[in-house]
Chain A
């Protein structure tokens, strides 16, 4: 079983990202769970969300404490929260930042998702871009399934734009 933890701020779409990733995994023929940290929802406050992916039915219903991957949607969180808390040995972090390199003590991929989102979507909402980056870096699921799950979630033009943003990030991290 693979466990993924998303760090974002309320309103940035971390919960939606966790659910889209679950659905994408499902389209890949896997079992999945996607859920928010059961907290108080406030705009701007640090929030977490989780996705579980497995080849067999997922029974565990507690929160995720030892993720395999961490996705950080907002670089300011690096100073506010210990984003690598509980991260498994050999795990990886994908961070939205303009910095080329970060030392978090784990394998770290960086991407300027805010730049991509502003360019393509016109707003600094990076959840779908970061999903593209995650899939590009890990190849844990197919990009086609991610694209399908994004188009399910956002209808029409908005869906296409989000899929495009994901694709740009996917290509950048695929090359690494």
Chain B
């Protein structure tokens, strides 16, 4: 049933909509080469790059759509791409 005014009362319900399956290419972040400049984190249009507890940058593959902007922007070429196998 549609609510009055099509209002959504469940906060953060968009997280259920996982977009990782859209990828043709998967970006792989090499933490050895990463200088933690945060450029990939800033440029990711999906907010799918995050910093883990050890302060390493990681990619959340549940939501990464494989646009590869991170790979294009990385100044040390730490992010490479591999074909998704489906």
Do A and B touch each other in the complex, judged by CB within 8 A?
A: no
Residues on B close to A: CB < 8 A? none
Residues on A close to B: CB < 8 A? none
